[in-house]
Amino acid sequence: MASTAQSIIDGTSVTRVERASTLGACGALLHRDFVLAWRRRGELFLPLLYAVIVAALFPFALGPDPELLVRIAGGVLLVIVILAMLPALESMFRADLEDGTLEQWLLAPQPLALLALTRVIAHWLTTVLPLIIVMPLLGALLNLPVKVLPVLIVALLLATPLLVLLGSVLSALAAGARRSGILMALMLLPLAVPVVIFAAGAIAAAQSGMPFIAPLTWLAAALILAIVLAPLACAAALKIAVES
Amino acid sequence: MTTPPALAAPLLSARRLAFSRNDEPVFGPLDFSLGRGETLLVEGDNGSGKTTLLRVLAGMLPPGEGDIRLDGQPASRDSRNGRLLWLGHRSGMNESLSARENLEFLAGLYGVRPGATAELAMERVGIAGWIDEPLRALSAGQKKRVGLARLLLVPGDVWLLDEPYANLDRHGIELVNALIAEHCAGGGAALVTSHGAVRFADSRARHIRLVA
């Protein structure tokens, strides 16, 4: 039953109620998250600033050895991006749990897992994509070889959504807990290690002129699996968060 | 869904409904039914389980014992399907967004009543002038009115209102009573909790009294 007959509030006319479509609901959530991100653009700028500062400090701390920088740049940039995106991951559902928005998610006639996936997409677009966009600048700061840059960017485009998906489950689980930041870091670490290994593997292979497709395909496979499974787990965790 | 028994069945009913937290009974067992056009007032002192009862009915807490039926069918997430509207202590709205943005987002989730718009709903609750202000600029009572505007904007059969009178002035209380009366006259139903300090408009409305 897509719609039910019901009178409007003044009781004068009986017409059909328009039920919200799932696509429309996801669009409304995306729009809301973008508006909120724009209102808090100062906050969103912080991870970017952090990444630029760390990337700028590294060459000073290691000394003027271009050869050393070329060797480590890819790995360092990978870790910088992961660390920069970690703080925002923790609060993915925090505000919505506190102001009761999650209660409305739960009661709305929409699949919770799809709302969770939409939130993941909005989160990735607003907090992680800017980090990837400044990658050429950060690569230049760390003397990253130009031929490695595209591989690094593709590896990040695959690895960061995967991490946000994993993080969404943990964030939903930890949403009710106080000071969940350190908890998040501890829980995400073991899950992030394989992602880092494959991404770093692709970068190292590209650097030494070897084929780098295999590790990237592994990342892509893991990403597809996570797109299917993580929202379901996230939805279950959100239910628990609202119930407790 | 068009079988005669389902039509005859009450909109929302509960049988031997009880809830316990850590083996401590919170409320129940309760038996009640709520038909179209009816209002049920849930009274009780603070901590007597009013909010818990509403959360169980809304499906945000699993019932410990007994069952809940919607149109005679066992209630589940699928059968609730947005037909139950919940207005709790937490508004479900983001403080950084304006009333219009919040209402439009919730309308996106739930759908819209025919002919209803955010402006009309805000006008009805008497704060049309605040529609584009961020919610954090509004007083507690005004935020409550925005929550009421949501009930007017989105479709739903059963209103589950947890302390709708809190933070409202005398006119606000009259407004809540008028909205509930209109909703019920239009074929809806409402379950309203109160700690008993407010006089409910419809003295014929049935009561459930919870004791701690």
Tell which of B11, B94, B123, B191 to mutate to test the A interface (max A CBs under 10 Å): B94
DSSP β-bridge partners for residue B69: B13, B74
- Residue A17 CA to residue A204 CA, distance in Å, equals 58
Q: How far is A170 from chain B (nearest CA, A)?
A: 20
Q: Looking at the partner chain, which of A7, A20, A243 has a beta carbon nearest the beta carbon of B61?
A: A243
> Nearest Cβ partner of A8 from B82, B115, B157?
B115
Q: Which of A4, A25, A103 sits opposite B92 (nearest CB)?
A: A103
Question: How far is it, in rounded angstroms, from Cα A172 to Cα A24?
Answer: 23
User: How far is CA B150 from each of CA A32, A47, A219, B204, rounded to the nearest angstrom?
Assistant: 16, 36, 43, 27
What residues pair up with B194 in beta bridges, in sequence order?
Answer: B43
Considering only residues B47 and A45, tell me which one the structure prediction assigns the higher pLDDT. A45
pLDDT of the residue at A76: 93
Query: Which tokens in the block code for residue A143?
Result: 């003397």
User: Of the given ranges (A34-43, A169-178, B114-123), which has the lowest mean pLDDT?
Assistant: A169-178
pLDDT category of residue B200 using cuts at 50, 70 and 90: low
Domain boundaries of chain A, sorted by first residue: 20-243
A106 contacts in B (CB within 8 Å)? 59-60
Distance from CA of A67 to the nearest CA of B (A): 49
Among B1, B85, B91, whose Cβ lies nearest the Cβ of A99?
A: B91
The proportion of chain A whose per-residue pLDDT surpasses 70, expressed as a percent, equals 92
Under an 8 A CB cutoff, do A99 and B58 touch?
no
* Beta-sheet strands, E only, within chain A: 5-7, 14-16, 18-19
Which chain B residue shows the shortest CA-CA distance from A24? B108
Tell me the C-alpha distance between A29 and A35, whole Å.
10
Q: Where are the domains of chain B?
A: 93-155
Residue A239's nearest CA partner among A116, A91, A123 is: A116
The ipTM value here is: 0.88
Residues B13, B15, B19, B20, Cα dihedral to 10°: 180
User: Would you give the distance in Å from CA A88 to the centre of its chain?
Assistant: 9
The pLDDT assigned to A148 comes to: 93
Q: What are phi and psi of B167, to 5 degrees?
A: 70, 5
